[in-house]
Structures are given as structure tokens and as C-alpha cells.
A and B are shown apart, each in its own frame.
With several copies, the nearest count.
Chain A
Amino acid sequence: MNDRLKALYKTQILAHAKNPFNEGVLEDYTHKLQAYNPVCGDQFDLYLKFEGDVIQNTSFRGYGCAISKASTSVLIKQLLGKSKSEAKVLVELFLKLINPESSESPESLTSDEEFLAFASAREFPERLTCANLAWEKLKEVL
């Protein structure tokens, strides 16, 4: 297989796509968001439970390609226990990381392996909407 693409899909992404974090419906959610990509039909429901300013619990359910699923899974995992403002910082970081027009190198932005795995998305602008689907949606409640 092609190395460039393999880099994108490498272990982190495949791992999350195959074994997503907190997949399922969260019964006592405070926020439910639907991340939907009309171009490809990918669709994820995100469930968040806020207590005050803090995201106490998260889950998601839906359907999409490996990249959108993994990126949603990473989001759901990373949000856990974060405050609104912390979550905001995280989302900005992730979007910068995958932005092909970003001038900063991925490694200068973070050392988190889960995040860095998505940096290769920069080379695949057509997959950008897969990688940022859930993250862009989350912005709406932050």
C-alpha cells in the first residue's frame, strides 16, 4: 500500500475506528449534537453531560468512514473531564493540526500521539471534512 495514506490511517486511527471510545447512547446527556456531512452521508450523534462548566461524561453513535469515526472517537475521549474553556483550546488545536494551510508544524503544536495521527490529513484536503466533522460541530456549544 501507499505509505502516505498508510501514514494517515496508521495505528491510532485504525485503532479508534475499530474500537471507538464510549460508543453508544448516553442516557443522561445534557447536550446532544448531530454532526452530519451531506456530501458523503457520514453522521454521528454526540452526547455530552455537562455538570456546571465541566464535561462529566461523553459518548457517540453513528456511521462514517474510518477517519471521521476515529476523529469523533478521539474527540469524545479527549473531552472527558474538560471544562468549556479547556475544550475550546483542544478543538482549536486539533483544527489547526489538520489544517493544510496552517504554517505551524504538527510537532510544534502537540506531542499527543492521538492528535498527531491526524496531522497527515493535511495532505488530503478532500478528507478534511471527515477529520473535522465532529469537532466543527462541537464548536457550536463551546
Chain B
Amino acid sequence: MQSLKSEFPIFETARKEGRPLIFLDNASTTQKPQCVINAVTGFYAGYYANVGRGLYWPATAASFNYDQAREKVRAFIGASSKKEVIFTSGTTDAVNKVVNSFLLPQLEKGDEVLVSEMEHHSNFVPWQQACQSKGAKLKVIPLDAGLNLDLSKFAAMLTDKVKILAITAISNTLGVKNDLKSIINLAHQHNIKVFVDAAQLPLSEKINVQNMDCDFLAFSGHKVFGPTGIGILYGKQALLEKMSPLAYGGGMVQQVSIDKTMMADLPAKHEAGTPNIAGTIGLAAAIDFINSVGVEEIGRHGAELRKYAVKRLSEIEGLTLFAKDAKSTAILSFTMEGIHPHDIAAFLAEKGIAVRAGHHCTYPLMQKLDIAGTVRVSFNIYNSEEEVDLLKNTLVEIRSFFL
């Protein structure tokens, strides 16, 4: 894996006071390989134009690549048709749009929406606000003592009042992975649709939406080596066809008169306005990059580093690891007795070690754990055991400085 590090220019160019960057904040966002940067630059410098309607080169080249990007995403998530792949500006955008176009039009007083206690705000607040606006009830699936989803309590919450279950594939704070296949299966037995927040999933395991049988799924490009401002929403074709458009505007209509608008077919129907074309082209390059390394390989490396970090950090007195035994993800949270997470992060930063401290946009989870925040480390292909060692040694130093 180390050889891959050289494909990420930031590690070459970036030095903070002589120190190289040790980037352990990959759950927040990922660094960009040269091939992704080149794809974006190549578009702007070589064949830039708007998509969809131009009869001239470079418009045809831009349209071709835009369409190719959709096909790459389709294959990447195992969808059966390109029509099921909608470009959004990110996971958060996708959640909000599903709430507005799918949930709200059918949501009534007394209905219920299920989320879990480990959700990111982006997969929590939109559903919560929708419920509040309609007098519906947001129900929160609790975690058990091991910080996994409490599946028996979950099963008991499945009633015909529930309109949708919105659930994350992997907790961005704990690194806990949910068994989506059986969760979705259970929900479907009660005719409940399932939205999967897959923000943390694509670099952990190969996604196959048909196998998973989710109704909706979303992730962000910037968390999978891609550009900012691009994400995708997968939806089952029948649902996307029935839903009203996610947004209205140029490019998503068949015909407009003063009284009436006829919407275009999928996927255009759900994509109003000039899309983030450079974003889709960069995302396609990111997918090519991921495929060239192998999702399994990437997932395994991250999981191994987490395991190694669990072992090394366990040696530090007064350090508490959360969801220690969570498997096959690359995210690990901890706290240190008597030292605030921000102070830890600030001292780590001085060594060039980038970690995240705080609530990680998971306030409900913090409340459950009864803490204000954690220090979170999250790994990717450019990280190594040596970096974990340095992390550990620095944490020991920090402890002796503060205590």
C-alpha cells in the first residue's frame, strides 16, 4: 500500500514546519490521487463545455464523459440501470431531496420514521424536521452495550405506521458496521422502505444495491478520493419514476408551457440545472482508481490498521476505546481521561498528525455515550503502522504533559 502514497501529491508538497502530513481524518474526507486531479484539470483545460444540448465539440465530449461517469457509478454500486443513478452535490443533499420528494408528500400525522442512534446529523436532522413539520414521530433505534444496533428492539419498532427507515451503513464516529442485508430484509417484511447512508461504505466493501436490496442509497464523492460538491443518490427505478422531481429547472423537462410542465425521463427528471460536470468526471476517475487498487484491498488495509491501532492505543493508561471490536472498518474513536479531545487534537496537529476531535456530527450518539466528544482516527490506503506508532507515542507524550 505504501507505494500508493506517492500517487497523492499532497504528501509530497505539503510540509508543516518540515513535517510530512499524517492524515488520519479520512472519515471526514479523503485526499486526492493525481489521476483525479488530472481528470478535472483535463476537462477544464481540454474539452470543457456544458452537457446535454450542445451539438459542437467540446460539448459532445463533455456529454460523453458525463454519461460515462454515470455508467461507472452504476457499475460501482451494482445498480441494474443508469437510470437509477442520480447525481447530487453530496450525501446530505441526497438525504434532503429524498425527504422532500419521497417522504414529505406522503407523510401524515401519526406516521413514523425510523433512524438509529448512531446517525450522522445529515441522516438525522432532515428526517427529524420532516416529522416535526407533519406531526409524525421520529423513532430512534437504540444501540446495545457493545454499541451495535439493538436488533431485537429494532424488530419491535417495525409497524405499519413506519414510512421509511433511514440507516447508516457504518457509523462515522464508532466505525461500527451494520448488517444492512438483514435489516433491510426485516424492514421490507413490513413494507418499509429503506434509505441507506453509505457515506462511509464505498472504501470498506464492494457495494451491490441489488444484493442489499435497499430502496435508496447515497454517498459523497469527496470521501472516496473524488472532488468536493458531487455525490450520488441511488433509487430503485420504480420509486424514482413515481417520485416528484428532486428539483425543478433546466434540463429536467420535456416541455414547459405557462400552465404545465412535462418532466423528462429518468435520470434527467431528477437533475435540474447545470450539473457539477467536473465533479462527475473526477468521481469517475476516483472510481477507476479504486477499482485499480481493489475495494477489498482498500477495506482490508483500513481494517488492519484499525486493529493495529486498537492494540497499540490499548497500551495507554487512561485511554478509552469505543466499539473496540467493531470489524472491517477503518474508523476508531477514543477519549483520554482528564484531557479534552480538542487539546489532544491540537497537540497531535503540531506533529503533523491530522485527527478529528468533537462530536463528529453525531450529537445523539454523544448523548447516549454521555460525553461531549471523542478523538477519532480513520485510516486509508496511504496510512501505515508506522503512523499508528507515532500516534501512540505522541499520545503518551500528551498524557505526560497534561497530567
Chain A residues packing against B (C-beta within 8 Å): 1-2, 4-6, 9, 14, 36, 38-43, 63-67, 69, 124-127, 130
Contact = CB atoms under 8 A, between A and B. Distances in A.
Interface of B: 52-55, 59-60, 63-64, 253-255, 264, 339-343, 346-347, 350-351, 357-359, 366, 372-373, 397-398, 401-402
B350 A40 contact: no
Contacts of B372: 41-43, 63
Given A1-B401, A126-B55, A40 B358 contact: yes
Contacts of B351: 2
Contact of A39 (B52, B343, B347, B397): B52
B13 to A, nearest CB: 21
A67 B339 CA distance: 11
Contacts, number: 65
A38 B261 CA distance: 12
A88 B18 CA distance: 42
A6 B60 CA distance: 19
Contact of B343 (A6, A41, A67): A67
Contacts of A126: 54-55, 59-60, 63
A69 B64 CA distance: 25
**Looking at B347, B397, B398, which has the most chain A CB atoms within 10 Å of its CB?**
B347
A99 B300 CA distance: 43
Question: Which 10 pairs from chain A and chain B are nearest by CB?
Answer: A65-B342, A38-B254, A2-B350, A65-B340, A126-B60, A5-B350, A66-B343, A41-B372, A65-B343, A40-B358
A125 B402 CA distance: 22
Given A38-B264, A125-B60, A14 B373 contact: no
Given A1-B397, A40-B53, A41-B372, A127 B346 contact: yes
